Structure 1
Amino acid sequence: MKHFIERRDFLKLGVTGAFGMMLTASDFLWRVEQVKAAQLPPQTPSPDAALQKLIDGNQRFVEHKPQYPDQTAVRLQEVAQAQHPFATVLSCADSRVPAEIIFDQGIGDIFDVRLAGNIVTPESLGSIEYAVALLGTPLLMVLGHERCGAVTAAVKNEALLGDIGSFVEAIKPVVKNAKLQPGDAVENAVVANVQYQIARLKRSQLLTERLESGKLKIVGGRYDLDTGGVTIIT
């Protein structure tokens, strides 16, 4: 009887151990498949399709019907080894304008470049060129927003502390014409600044090549702090 019990316990232990090995192997194979999936780039949407994806996401945000896509544990595994964002967004470093939230997107969907005043600097341009030329994002949006503090400072032309004035200088070229137009000077300058920064981006040879080949679309946007809506600026 003792021999039988020991043998039964041994067999039980063997089955349990084998089952544990099966789970471990299964988990390992699942992780391998996730890594493979991450290494294979998904089908890149057209520039127009990418823009529509942002517009649709913003509409969901405005209507308070977010889907929270690409925010699961599986998604973390998918993008752990490689990223394939469908859009690059140059936006203001304002806490109220987080691109993934206002466009209802998830991890790895948007390549974010954020500076006060959504300005083009050598560093921000290099980041954008990396996203467009090396990661292959088909859409580039310059996103300004209502009552932008950086634009307001440029319009008022007041003395600023430290290096705060550095990004204000990059916006000043649009201020004069904005003041001459009817309406609020700051709001005029917000739109004008987006257009001005887009013009600066188009001086990049890398971006120009992608534009001319039809692989890239550059658009402007204005975010409304009150409604959450994004208006496309042409």
Structure 2
Amino acid sequence: MIGLTPKQAWDVLREGNKRFINGESEHPSQGIEDRARLVAGQHPHVVLFGCADSRLAAEIIFDQGLGDMFVVRTAGHVVDSAVMGSLEYAAEVLEVPLVVILGHDSCGAVKATLDALDDLQIPGGYIRDVVERVTPSILAGRSEGLTRVDEFEARHVVETGRLLMQRSRIIADRVANGKLAIVGLTYALNEGAVQLQGAYGDIGQSYVEIDTAGNGHKGAHEASAAVDEAQSA
């Protein structure tokens, strides 16, 4: 789907998730002709940055097909330079209109970080790096009085959106120009449904604006101020 607006891309995902929830998936763009068509190039309408959990298969959850989604996944959707480069490539080169940050319940990375902070024992190896990158979200959540694991999972999605806007001039500029939107979602493993936790940009529905200052959330009417704040950070 070439030339979609951020709102249209979001609508496509919402409808796809509804089909998945209801057991009515259409499994689009998976045939022989589709594979042949995509050899010439890709034009995805979404870049999805999500947790690497095996239960979080992006194309299945949103009933999308080959060439529809540019997918980047890490444990706990933690951000590093390779992730930023991949997301900027999708935004600037592929001109994808929508960035989706996808977290979920029963997230091992969030639970491991909570346990590490409670027990004062940080895992070894590269798992330590994952825990250290999730830690700011947990600390921010605790400062806001959060206690439940699902609240921390949602807070980590919000924090990830803030990081993308603060660290990437390319992404922040495209959001400010109306060419891109970011949505932060959490996925319920049992129900198969995604829940909107916050957003940047125009997605055509009421939402809670992610606070770039890390102070929880802002109202949608403060969207332009939030973008300006991210750009000046």
TM-score range normalised by the length of the shorter chain: 0.7 to 0.9
Match of 2:43 in 1: 84
Residue 144 and residue 112 in structure 1: after superposition, are their counterparts in 2 closer, same or farther (change >3 A)? same
* Residues 213 and 67 (structure 1), Cα distance of their counterparts in 2 relative to 1, 3 Å cut: same
Corresponding position of 2:165: 202
What RMSD over aligned residues (CA atoms) do the two structures have, in Å? 1.4
User: For 1:74-99, what per-residue CA distance to the aligned partner results, in whole angstroms no more than 9, with x for missing partners?
Assistant: 11011112000000000000000010
Work out which of the residue numbers 188, 191, 209 in structure 2 matches 1:224: 188
* Alignment partner of 1:52 is 2:16: no
Q: Distance in 1 between matches of 2:115 and 2:2?
A: 47
Aligned length: 193
Deviation at 1:147, TM superposition (A): 1.1
Matched, 1:74 2:33: yes
Structure 2 counterpart of 1:218, which letter?
Answer: I
Greater mean deviation of Cα atoms: 130-139 or 184-193: 184-193
Report if the CA contact (8 A) 2:2-2:45 is conserved.
Answer: no
| Higher fraction of strand | 2
Please, which moves more after superposition, 213-222 or 157-166?
157-166
TM-score, normalisation: structure 1: 0.79
Gaps in structure 2 of 5+ consecutive residues: 199-233
SS in 1 for 2:99: strand
TM-score normalized with structure 2 length = 0.79
3-state secondary structure, aligned to 1:188 = helix
Shift of 1:182: 6.0
- Partners of 2:148 and 2:109 in 1: CA distance: 13
Match of 1:153 among 112, 117, 135: 112
Give secondary structure in 2 for the equivalent of 1:233. strand
The unaligned stretches of length 5 or more in structure 1 are 1-41
Q: Which residue of 1 aligns with 2:229?
A: none
Q: CA deviation at 1:161?
A: 3.5
Q: Deviations over 1:180-225 (max 9, x none)?
A: 5566432111111111111110021111111111000011000001
CA distance in 2, matches of 1:231, 1:130: 26
Identity, % of aligned pairs? Answer: 36
Describe the superposition over 1:41-87 as per-residue Cα deviations: whole angstroms up to 9, x where unpaired.
x5311100100100110110010110001111111011112000000
Give the match for residue 224 of structure 2: none
CA distance, structure 2, for counterparts of residue 224 and residue 151 of structure 1: 15
1:185 aligns with 2:148: yes
Q: Distance in 1 between matches of 2:140 and 2:159?
A: 12
More helix by share: 1
